[in-house]
A = this chain, B = another copy of it.
Amino acid sequence: MSSTWGNQLKLSIFGESHGDGIGVVLDGLPSGEEIDQGEILTQMARRAPGQNTLSTARKEKDQPEILSGLFEGHTTGTPLCAMIRNQDTHSKDYSELKIHPRPGHADYTGAIRYNGYNDYRGGGHFSGRLTAPLTFSGAVCRQILKRRGILIAAHLFSVGKVKDIPFDPTKTTEKDLHTLLQAPFPVLNTDAGQAMQQEIEDARQNGDSVGGIIECIAIGLPAGIGSPMFDGIENRLSSILFGVPAVKGIEFGNGFAAASLHGSENNDDFILQGDSVRTETNRHGGILGGITTGMPLLFRAALKPTPSIFQKQKTVDLHEHTETTLTIHGRHDPCIAVRAVPVIESAAATALLDLLLEAYGYEFR
């Protein structure tokens, strides 16, 4: 196993950064779902590189070709495969990395894990490029979820030391999310967005990079989804989210902040809102006991700064077995968190659809 994920909906991602193609098989999608391919391209474009100076100079059309599972515009219910050709590859840039592993990258662990046979070019299967098929998966799943009233969106909660305003955990509306999803830069506060872009540009000019936190929300989820102890929402979301390169932490609701609070500060009182049981606050992030409460689902993912920086770093020569230094060339995002926003949403959309299929079955309408 490894790049296969899911229970009722199985995701199988393949490809290497500089190989012939990358893609994904989605096995277990409900049948009869109309798929808007324009909407898929919109989502792919949100992740695609080459849009501005904030991202890698690599340009990829990221045009997925659907090989199966779609017939007359609707899902067949049998496996849907989408393939994306790799085109703008500069493999010569990477030849040094086979023997001089980049600090903070998987060059070294990949070589150990695969006995030196891993495709090291551009990070191979470890590359951020593998998030394109995951974004495709999310672009399909979120259409299916939307038809059932479930909307997912994310923003940059922080970049380096600059913070956006957080989601309103109880009152965020569909309209808020539509606005966010169409924003040119994924923040709730445009001033914060400007400052973040400056932070990133500063890092880029220093040949450096910077990390960020992505906050994601899902509204419209019914209560009662998820199963203790190990198929709860947190377990399942984290098991897919840590598959997004650079993610080093996940928290739900108050998350780490809850650890410094008292119970009286962290509990959410139950109230009635018309006929519905709700909570007055939403420090629990929409999950209690691994199960949705019906409140917005809220989580944050911490992404480390891009490890590919252009400053001289220490490394080892794996052939000569000596210490040496390395200066990385090539094309790299100074802040991977920006393009990871739709990827995090997509991982969440895929996981939530899987969880709903478990709850309601493949007859799920």
The interface residues of chain B lying within 8 Å CB-to-CB of A231 are 1-2
Interface residues of A in 200-214 (CB under 8 A from B): 203, 206, 208-213
Q: Contact flags (1/0) for A245-263 with B, using CB distance below 8 Å?
A: 1011111111110111111
A75 on the interface (CB 8 Å rule)?
yes
Pair B288/A109 contact, Cβ less than 8 Å: yes
User: Which listed residue (B75, B265, B291) contacts A112, Cβ 8 A?
Assistant: B291
Contact yes or no, A303 B229, CB < 8 A: no
A138 within 8 A of B: no
A227, CB-defined interface residue at 8 Å: yes
Contact B12 A1 (CB under 8 A): no
Question: Is residue A119 within 8 Å, beta carbon to beta carbon, of the partner chain?
Answer: yes
> A287 — which chain B residues lie within 8 A by C-beta?
109
Q: Which residues of B contact A313 (CB under 8 A)?
A: 267, 269
Q: Is A126 an interface residue (CB 8 A)?
A: yes
Q: For residue A255, which residues in chain B have a CB less than 8 angstroms away from its CB?
A: 248-249, 302
| Bound CA–CA A104/B115 (angstroms) | 41
Q: How far is the CB of A159 from chain B (nearest CB, A)?
A: 8
- Return A305 CB to nearest CB of chain B, in Å: 4
Q: Is the CB of A242 within 8 A of B248?
A: no
A47 interfacial by beta-carbon distance below 8 Å = no
Which B residues are CB-close (under 8 A) to A358?
Answer: 1, 8, 361-362
Known: A114-B77, A229-B243, A277-B108. A305 touches B68 (CB 8 A): no
B118 pairs with A161, CB closer than 8 A: no
Interface-centre pick from A229, A235, A359, A364 (highest chain B CB count, 10 A): A229
Contact call A229/B20, Cβ cutoff below 8 A: no
Chain B residue with the shortest CB-CB distance to A240: B230
Q: Is the Cβ of B21 less than 8 Å from the Cβ of A68?
A: yes
* Interface pick from A142-150, A171-179, A181-189, A314-322: A314-322
Pair A66/B20 contact, Cβ less than 8 Å:
yes
Question: In the assembled complex, which residues on chain B have CB atoms less than 8 Å from the CB atom of A5?
Answer: 229-230
- Contacts A78-B114, A289-B245; A258 near B67 (Cβ below 8 A): no
Cross-chain contact of A307 among B81, B213, B229, B263 (Cβ < 8 A) = B263
Q: A326 to chain B: closest CB distance in Å?
A: 9
Provide the residues of chain B in CB contact with A166, threshold 8 Å.
none
A290–B215 alpha-carbon span in the complex (Å): 22
Which of A6, A117, A161, A206 counts the most chain B CB atoms within 10 A? A117
1/0 per residue, CB under 8 A from B, across A112-139: the answer is 1111111100001110001000000000
For window 46-67 of A, CB contacts with B under 8 Å fall at 65-67
A316 to B242: give the CA distance in the assembly, Å. Answer: 37
A309 to chain B minimum Cβ distance, whole angstroms, is 4
Cβ of A323 within 8 Å of any chain B Cβ, yes or no, is: yes
Residues on the B chain within 8 Å of A7, using CB: 1, 7-8
Q: Which residue of B lies closest to A110 (CB)?
A: B289
Ranked nearest first, the 9 interchain pairs of A and B with the lowest CB-CB distance are A106-B289, A249-B251, A2-B227, A361-B361, A209-B263, A78-B125, A109-B291, A269-B314, A238-B238
Question: Who on chain B is nearest to A12 by CB?
Answer: B12
User: How far is A69 from B192 in the complex, measured between Cα atoms in Å?
Assistant: 42
A23 within 8 A of B: yes
Q: How far is the CA of A230 from the CA of B229 in the complex (A)?
A: 19
